Amino acid sequence: MRVFWFLLLTMVVVVAAVTLAVVGGGGSPVLQDVPPERLTDPLPATRPVGRADVDALRLPMAARGYRMVDVDEALDRLGAELAERDARIAELESALAGAQATAVNGPGLFEQPDQEPGRYDGESGSRPGEEDQR
């Protein structure tokens, strides 16, 4: 009977010691709280995002996939960058189209830039560049 009580008491002491060690009782915690895994190398905030930045992007894992906050932040940043680039491309394309239209439909060879094309010169009664045949 003494052996039974000795084993029972030993088992209670061991279970209590393990429980206190796991919970953190007794001076120094054995199992410390680990901060959640965070995005260590986010997309650069000081310059536009490049292909190498997107290739190097590694999102931290969570219990059920990726951390939604980090994924949302990365997608929002990429969406903003793409919208900004699309606006800039549209602006440059319209400027290029305007420059090409001016080059094609611009003033004639003998016309002044401030004169309407095909308009008669008021003084001589002839078109610019024509010689007076009188």
What pLDDT, in 10s, does the model give residues 7-50?
999 999 999 988 877 776 656 555 566 666 676 667 788 888 88
Asked whether the beta carbons of 75 and 51 are under 8 A apart, the reply is: no
Instruction: Name the nearest CA neighbour of 57 among 46, 70, 48, 47.
Output: 70
**Tens-digit pLDDT profile for residues 94-131:** 999 988 888 877 655 555 656 555 555 555 555 555 55
Neighbours of 92 (CB within 10 A): 10
pLDDT of residue 113: 59
Mean pLDDT of 67-87: 88
Return d(Cα 102, Cα 100) in angstroms, integer: 5
Return d(Cα 72, Cα 74) in angstroms, integer: 5
pLDDT of residue 27: 61
Tokens 């319209």 belong to 94
Asked whether the beta carbons of 81 and 48 are under 8 A apart, the reply is: yes
pLDDT of residue 1: 86
